[in-house]
Amino acid sequence: MEVGAEAASLPDLLSKEPLSTAQRAYLTHLTSLPLDNLLTEPGALQTQAHHLTSSLTSLTHTSYPTFLALHATTKSLSASLDTFSNALDGLLDTSLPALEAAAANWHTRTDAVVRERNKARAVLEQHDKLRDLLDIPLLIDTCVRNGFFAEALQLAAHAEAAAASSSSSASPPPPILRSVLAEVHASIAQMLRALLATLHEPARKLPALYKAVAFLRRMPAFAADAEDPEELLALAFLSGRHACVRAALEPVARDVQRLAGAPAPLGEREREDLTRGVRKYIDVWREGVHDVVSQYTSIFLPTSTTTAASAPASDPAPIVHAQLSAYASNALMTHLLPVLRVALPQLPLSALPPVLTQLTYCATAFARSGLDFRAAVAGLAADAVRSAVTGDFGRAARTFAGECVKARASMAPAAPTRSSLDGRRSLDARGSLDGRSSLDSQRYQPSTWLAPSGAPAPRPAEMLAGPAHVPPSALAAYPPLATFANALLTALNGLRLLAPVEVLPALRSSLDAALAEAGGALVGYVGAAVGHKERDASLRGGEMFFDVLVPYVRRALVEGVYGGKVGEGDLDGELADVMRDWEAWRAASVVSSPIE
């Protein structure tokens, strides 16, 4: 029974969980024993078991307090281990997940604060540098307002360098640098406007303009890498200075155009005002345009000996030269010539020589700069002289013709008879009118008005033998003719100071037209006066006009003013017709004189 029990317990023993190291060692020891020893092994084991049991019993009797204490301690330890196991289970199942969630939530809640604190710490560490950087726009504004443009450009360059050093090709500058750069660019744009405004200020002289252009060359808008920087800068300079010239010219031009464009003929005072206005306009134009040309030449077209830090490194482009020529031509064609074209014909002849002398000096001064406009002024001067002299001739002729018409009209009513006068003596008013009419008729008789008694008879060959610039003295005995001749000679004396050769044909035509108008009126007058028994006086007056005055004034124009020769028989047009009418009337008067 025991062997079977042992045999049954061995498989059970072997079929349990994996053996420990000691068990495997003992089994290995059993397999190594011989059969004899193996048969005696159970007895040895039983003996050893009894020995151990007795030893344990003895130990229990002798050390039972220790066992009791050990039992109590083991029981207490088991309870403590159970409690500790439950606490660990609670910690693992509840506390640690809660702690992990709280830790994760804490990181989320404090991440923004940590970032802000890091930023604040970084700002605090870089406070001085940031303050210097943020002060740059304010400093640039202050420099621009006070005219320290070089310092403003240096600060702007420093800001650009700081932005370039803190950025790369893949990442842009930090936001603070972008903000500072935006403010810097706004301040530099304000500086650009201030410098361009300097070019539009009338009181600025060459040093201030030179300085402004030098700083403009350093501006980004006119930098060397910009498109046509020097041409753009030169154009901006000309635009600004031209605005100043135009502002100075406009008030004077308005006064000149107001007087020159008046619908009514100008009086003596208005013509003097117009003369002063034209001369002032020429002076203002000359000073303004000459300043622009000289300033432009000094700044943009420096000579080889001129050295300046602001001058461009290479020679000026041809377009820079062309811009100056275009500006000068535009100033001449837009401002000076239109005003002269309108005003010069309205000036009195005596005012033209000083005005044209002033223009000649002005053109000569500009000729040194390559703008010689004397040829353009010469044409205007010729037109003005022609217009002035023609106007004087026409006014003299109209005045004389008006006197002749008035004299003829005064002689038109027939002289009243004594019977008609006796019948009207009761009417005092009508009587006074008839008396005045009679006095006017007597006053405008040829023997009283045209050729007074005692006037020398016309002797053309003798009277025209003197110099061309000395009028025949016999004309003074014929008051209307003397007045007419004096008006014509006054115009010719003014013409002698300024006598363009190209206007001589036009002046001859206008003089012939004036003589024809005056001669026609005189022929009409003497024709009406013949019936009043004033034939001799009419003949003397007509011969003095047509045989002496007409040849003399024509000779005075051609020979006395221009040094030419008057050809004989070169009369044509209206004057020739009037001369034929006069000859016909004279022939008829001579033929009819015996009958009378």
| Whether 497 and 411 share a structural domain | yes
| Whether 573 and 540 share a structural domain | yes
Single out the residue in 141, 166, 199 at which a domain terminates. Answer: 199
Six-digit token string for 544: 């003095």
| Whether 133 and 113 share a structural domain | no
Q: Residue 365 carries which side chain, given as an amino acid letter?
A: A
| Whether 583 and 512 share a structural domain | yes
366 in Cβ contact with 409 (< 8 Å) = no
Instruction: Report phi then psi at 459, rounded to 5.
Output: -130, 85
Give the chain's end-to-end CA distance (angstroms, integer). 215
| Whether 118 and 132 share a structural domain | no
Q: Is residue 400 part of a domain?
A: yes
Rounded to whole angstroms, the Cα distance separating 22 from 28 reads 10
Rounded to whole angstroms, the Cα distance separating 292 from 248 reads 13
| pLDDT per residue rounded down to tens, the chain (596 residues) | 444 444 445 556 555 567 788 888 888 888 888 888 888 888 888 999 999 999 888 888 888 888 888 889 999 999 999 899 888 888 888 888 888 888 888 888 888 888 888 888 887 887 787 788 888 889 989 988 888 888 888 888 888 888 787 766 556 777 888 888 888 889 888 888 988 899 999 888 999 999 988 888 888 777 655 567 888 888 899 999 999 999 999 999 999 989 888 887 778 888 899 999 999 999 999 999 999 999 998 888 876 544 444 444 455 667 888 888 888 889 989 999 999 999 888 888 888 889 988 988 898 888 887 788 888 888 888 888 898 899 899 999 999 999 999 888 887 554 444 433 343 343 344 444 444 555 566 777 887 888 887 788 888 878 888 788 888 888 888 999 999 999 999 999 888 888 888 888 999 999 999 999 999 999 988 887 655 556 788 888 888 999 899 999 998 998 888 888 876 656 767 888 998 988 888 888 766 554 34
256 in Cβ contact with 339 (< 8 Å) = yes
Q: Is residue 463 part of a domain?
A: yes
Rounded to whole angstroms, the Cα distance separating 429 from 39 reads 203
Query: What is residue 303's three-state secondary structure?
Result: coil
| Whether 95 and 195 share a structural domain | no
Q: Is residue 46 part of a domain?
A: no
| Whether 149 and 115 share a structural domain | no
410 in Cβ contact with 440 (< 8 Å) = yes
Distance of CA 530 to the CA centre of its chain: 73
Rounded to whole angstroms, the Cα distance separating 183 from 152 reads 13
What's the whole-number average pLDDT of the chain?
A: 82
For the stretch 383-432, pLDDT in tens is 888 988 998 999 999 999 999 998 888 875 544 444 333 433 433 444 44
Q: Is residue 457 part of a domain?
A: yes
Six-digit token string for 479: 């008051």
Report which DSSP code applies to 314: S
Q: Is residue 330 part of a domain?
A: no
Rounded to whole angstroms, the Cα distance separating 243 from 201 reads 9
Rounded to whole angstroms, the Cα distance separating 364 from 358 reads 10
Neighbours of 558 (CB within 10 A): 20
Burial (CB < 10 A; 0-12, 13-18, 19+), residue 216, is buried
Helices and strands: H and E segment counts in the chain: 23, 0
Rounded to whole angstroms, the Cα distance separating 99 from 105 reads 10
Single out the residue in 122, 142, 175 at which a domain terminates. Answer: 122
Report which DSSP code applies to 205: -
Of the candidates 413, 412, 483, the residue with the CA atom closest to the CA atom of residue 450: 483
Q: Is residue 106 part of a domain?
A: yes
| Whether 495 and 570 share a structural domain | yes
Single out the residue in 164, 199, 234 at which a domain terminates. Answer: 199
| Whether 511 and 568 share a structural domain | yes
Q: Is residue 304 part of a domain?
A: no
Q: Give the long-range contacts of residues 41-46, CB within 8 A, separation 24 or more.
A: 42/6
Rounded to whole angstroms, the Cα distance separating 249 from 64 reads 137
178 CB-near residues (< 8 Å, 6+ apart): 163, 172
Six-digit token string for 153: 């450009």
Rounded to whole angstroms, the Cα distance separating 225 from 234 reads 16
43 CB-near residues (< 8 Å, 6+ apart): none
Q: How many distinct structural domains can be found in the chain?
A: 3
| Whether 574 and 508 share a structural domain | yes
Q: Is residue 492 part of a domain?
A: yes
For residue 148, give its domain range.
128-199
| Whether 439 and 530 share a structural domain | yes
| Whether 194 and 95 share a structural domain | no
Report which DSSP code applies to 456: P
